[in-house]
Amino acid sequence: MTNPIPRGEHPRPQLRRAQWQCLNGPWRIRADNAGEGLMHQWHQRGLGAEAQTIMVPFTPQAPASRAEALSHAACLWYEREFDEVPWGGPVMLHFGAADHWTRVFLNGQEIGQHRGGYAPFSFEISHALRPGSNRLTVRVEDSPSWSQPRGKQAGTTRWPIDYDPITGLWQTVWLEPVPASSLSWLYPRFSLSDRTLIVTAGFSQPVTGKLSLSLHRKGSIAGQAVVEVDHRSEARLSFTLENPALWHPDHPWLYDLTVTLEDPLEGTLDQVESYLGLREITWDEAGLRLNGEPLYLRGVLDQGYFPEGWYTAPSDEALRRDVELTLALGFNCARKHQKAEDPRYLYWADRLGLLVWAEMPSGRIFSTDLVETLTREWMTLIRRDRAHPSIITWVPFNESWGVWHQGSRPEQRAWVDSLYHLTKTLDPSRPVVGNDGWEYSSGDLWTLHLYEEERPLEARLAALRGDPETAVTNSWGGSPGRERRGALPGADVSGLPMLLTECGGIGFGEGGEDRFAYGDFPETEAALLRQIQGTLKKVTASPSLAGYVWTQLTDVQQEVNGLLYFDRTPKLPLSTLRACFSGDEPSA
């Protein structure tokens, strides 16, 4: 049965409680480009007769929002009522994501603010609730500034690879009763050598009591652990599994998890349901290993845009379909590019067996504001997503966006290096690519973006191996006046696996006068297939490479180098494309 509430499925699949209330659906919305809403106290008086209707969680830039007339508004006010909540005690108001500066009011009282377009945020609202109807008002302000993380949303200038921006709420809004002392996050780590599972649990405040964990598979208990907690903000539980069922793309086995927090006098304080996959990622000069076995990465670049929902998938089924299509094309990995993806996508990647590279959306102007906002959001996203077994790599920077001068300005290089180390502090279990594409400074993998040009691929790779500071060139050009090198002076890439994390980019189809692709534009399907096969043959034949990422999964606006059109229709038969990317010979 179709859920009548848009995106009404549970938005946080790895930390579920029995009670929650989705606030998606019709809201009132009003543009405030003149900045008069605060002066005229819209949060207390209401949005008035000029308000329109919008379907949350879709932004005005998305047809599914039904509010496209507001697509160019820089400041939006949202408003809706909800009935008295049926729970006693503390209540949390959760936002999956809102772009960019959000201020939240309940019954005229401001309850909190958040800056950033990608990370989740929450406020405890019980002090502002009242009997009967409650009015929730949200003010979201955005700007075209490149001093804020915005990924590929067009800002003050638009590159050929940028797309139309978004503003406002773009993930689920929901209510949840949560005890004052509660579980905030879970972080599992598995060691293959000794079959040990360690689960770290974070609390909303320092607690004293007992933390217990129960692991289940197919209805049977696979393991249990208990630990006493004494005024701690987090605690670890560990135990050994005799015959663990390992998570792998070929068999994405998952365990169900129940975690309980108890007080010695009050009994159960909090209980959450979750799941986890047991797998271990390691790496050496030869490449990546999954559960001790060599892993050749066959990845595809995925922008995560949708025709109806733009930044927001129109349904949970659409997210699942994208994962299924990626697998059907023969890939084992998706590099989610310049977008922190909806947790429901990661849920389906966990369930269906797709590896994921998680990447932070970039800004493009180095500034104190960018450093503070991006670092804070990145830390929050790691904490949100590090329990997903599908994620195998963290990427805080792409192609030196926002740190264009890290080769000559030590403060920019220091930031890249510090985010690499900060990421390893928060999650040492995965490889981290400090800056993907070129200008390596710190990282566990050496990743390069190389598209077709006259020089043979293997000669270009050999030159970079011989001298990592060799310039990285591509036929499509790039940023004028700035030479991109494979690695920065003093950086050590010895002993690191080399991966080609952007290649292909062959254009096909109509994209208007400004259509863009990184490669050629073959005119027939047969010519497109020949070019795909020819490029792949060079890439997969290289003994230097431990894997590749193909550009890209779908077309988006003027960028027409997708394997699928924007509506997800394949440009060639799926079976033909799968034969290419799975390593088998395609049929004639």
427 & 306 share domain: yes
142 & 230 share domain: no
187 & 83 share domain: no
Q: What is the CATH number of the domain that holds 269?
A: 2.60.40.10
187 & 168 share domain: no
Query: Tens digits of per-residue pLDDT, 443-494?
Result: 999 999 999 888 899 999 999 999 999 999 776 555 544 579 999 999 999 9
pLDDT of residue 476: 57
**Tokens (6 digits) for 534:** 């020819």
Q: What is the DSSP string of 273-332?
A: EEEE-B--EEEETTEEEETTEEE-EEEEEE---BTTTBTS-SSHHHHHHHHHHHHHTT-S
Q: What is the CATH number of the domain that holds 507?
A: 3.20.20.80
pLDDT of residue 493: 97
Cα 329 to Cα 250, 333, 356, 586: the distances in Å are 15, 11, 15, 12
Q: What is the CATH number of the domain that holds 41?
A: 2.60.120.260
For the chain, residues with pLDDT lower than 50 are 1, 480-481, 585-588
What pairs with residue 358 in β-bridges?
A: 394
In a domain, 16, yes or no: no
Final residue in a domain of this structure, among 151, 177, 203: 177
Query: Tens digits of per-residue pLDDT, 342-394?
Result: 999 999 999 999 999 999 999 999 999 999 999 999 999 999 999 999 999 99
Final residue in a domain of this structure, among 177, 207, 235: 177
The domain of 102 spans 21-177
132 & 191 share domain: no
In a domain, 65, yes or no: yes
Chain centroid offset of residue 107 CA: 33
In a domain, 398, yes or no: yes
171 & 238 share domain: no
155 & 189 share domain: no
Query: The pTM is what?
Result: 0.96
420 & 538 share domain: yes
Q: What percent of the chain has pLDDT over 90?
A: 92
DSSP state of 153: B
In a domain, 5, yes or no: no
495 & 380 share domain: yes
Continuous segment of H or E residues that includes residue 220: strand 220-240
Final residue in a domain of this structure, among 177, 192, 223: 177
Q: Which of 188, 169, 202, 147 is nearest to 61 (CA)?
A: 169
In a domain, 70, yes or no: yes
In a domain, 284, yes or no: no
- Into how many domains does the chain fold? 3
248 & 299 share domain: no
| Residue whose tokens read 């390691």 | 282
pLDDT of residue 53: 98
Pairwise CA distance, residues 437 & 448, whole Å: 4
Q: Which residues contact 444 (CB under 8 A, 6 or more apart)?
A: 283, 431, 432, 433, 496
In a domain, 14, yes or no: no
187 & 302 share domain: no
Environment class of 154 (CB within 10 Å of its CB; exposed 0-12, middle 13-18, buried 19+): middle
In a domain, 1, yes or no: no
112 & 189 share domain: no
